[in-house]
């Protein structure tokens, strides 16, 4: 019987996003309270002025992407990094109320019974 030789390669776990397992309830609830999220075009102006990004790996663009995808586990860690300084809201060309958005995300995460880090 032939033996299988190991050549140093292995099968990696796929990195695709499984939208079927992600909950879309969070984005619906956040959009009810903060409809300006629909105006976001992910231009990155908010990320360029972020004070928290100077000291952490926080990105408001990533936070909005996680909300839209429904990835609540990563979202809990990401929202805790925001200092709510409001610079992003001042420079947003589309008028997204980013501070209220982040507060709503935090609130909805707490309402859903998930333990948060803030």
The verdict on residue 21 lying in a domain is no
Q: Could you give the CA distance from residue 100 to residue 115 in angstroms, rounded to a whole number?
A: 20
Per-residue pLDDT reduced to its tens digit, 14-63: 778 777 778 788 999 999 999 999 999 999 899 999 999 988 899 999 99
Q: Could you give the CA distance from residue 63 to residue 59 in angstroms, rounded to a whole number?
A: 6
The verdict on residue 38 lying in a domain is no
pLDDT, position 118: 53
Q: How many structural domains does the chain have?
A: 1
The verdict on residue 35 lying in a domain is no
The verdict on residue 31 lying in a domain is no
Distances (CA, A) of 76 to 7, 90, 114: 40, 24, 8
The verdict on residue 100 lying in a domain is yes
In the predicted model, what is the mean pLDDT of residues 69-96?
91
Angle between helix 60-69 and 98-111 (nearest 10): 40
pLDDT, position 95: 93
The verdict on residue 18 lying in a domain is no
pLDDT, position 17: 77
For 49, the domain range is 45-111
pLDDT, position 10: 80
The verdict on residue 104 lying in a domain is yes
103 vs 4, residue with greater confidence: 103
Residue 76 and residue 105 in contact, taking contact as beta carbons nearer than 8 Å: no
The verdict on residue 59 lying in a domain is yes
pLDDT, position 23: 79
Query: How many C-alpha atoms does 61 have within 13 Å on its Cβ side?
Result: 13
Phi, psi of 102 (to 5 degrees): -65, -40
**pLDDT above 90: residue 71:** no
Residue 82 and residue 52 in contact, taking contact as beta carbons nearer than 8 Å: yes
**pLDDT above 80: residue 4:** no
In the predicted model, what is the mean pLDDT of residues 90-115?
90
């Amino acid at each position: 019987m032939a033996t299988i030789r190991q050549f140093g390669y292995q099968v990696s776990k796929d990195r695709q996003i499984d939208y079927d397992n992600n909950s879309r309830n969070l984005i619906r609830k956040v959009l009810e309270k903060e409809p300006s999220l629909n105006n976001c075009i992910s231009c990155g102006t908010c990320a360029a002025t972020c004070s928290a990004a100077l000291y952490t790996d926080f990105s408001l663009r990533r936070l909005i992407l996680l909300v839209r995808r429904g990835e609540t586990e990563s979202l809990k860690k990401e929202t805790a990094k925001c200092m709510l300084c409001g610079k992003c809201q001042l420079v947003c060309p589309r008028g997204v109320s980013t501070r209220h958005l982040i507060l709503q995300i935090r609130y909805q995460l707490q309402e859903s019974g998930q333990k948060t880090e803030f």
